[in-house]
Amino acid sequence: VLIMVVFFVLGHFGAYTFVRPYLEESTSATVGFITVVLIVFGIGGAVGNFIGGHTVNKSLRGSFIVGGLIMVASLVLLLTIGANKVGVIIAMTLWGLAFGV
């Protein structure tokens, strides 16, 4: 499980590095919009921490699997509906939630 967590975190930060350039290219995002997206990402992460705190006590493996699946789904959403600003906000909220779990 520890090795999977390492890959999960590496994947997260590897992809997170490219959020700003991706948003500038896909949505012609302004600095203000990118700021809002990153704040929403952080709020999703905070909510994910609360959810993760409860689910980890029930099933560590299950919590990790669900968090990983939500992260994959959010990145796929970002690639498929990432040209739409509302889609970006939804995908980034889910991504933050997944990382928080």
What domain range is 85 assigned to? Answer: 2-100
Tally the domains of the chain: 1
Select, from the ranges 6-15, 37-46, 49-58, the one with the highest average predicted confidence (pLDDT).
37-46
Measured between alpha carbons, how far is 89 from 37 in angstroms, rounded to an integer? 6
Question: What is the model's pLDDT at position 8?
Answer: 84
Q: How far is CA 22 from the centre of its chain?
A: 14
The pLDDT of residue 44 is 94
Q: Given this model, what pLDDT does residue 96 score?
A: 93
Identify the residue with better confidence: 1 or 85: 85
Calpha distance 101→90 (Å, rounded): 17
Structure tokens at 27: 């949505």
Coil vs helix vs strand at 23:
helix
Per-residue b or e along 51-90, where b marks 16 or more CB atoms closer than 10 Å to that residue's CB: bbeebeeeeeeebbebbbebbeebbebbeeebeebebbbb
Q: Is the pLDDT of residue 1 over 80?
A: no
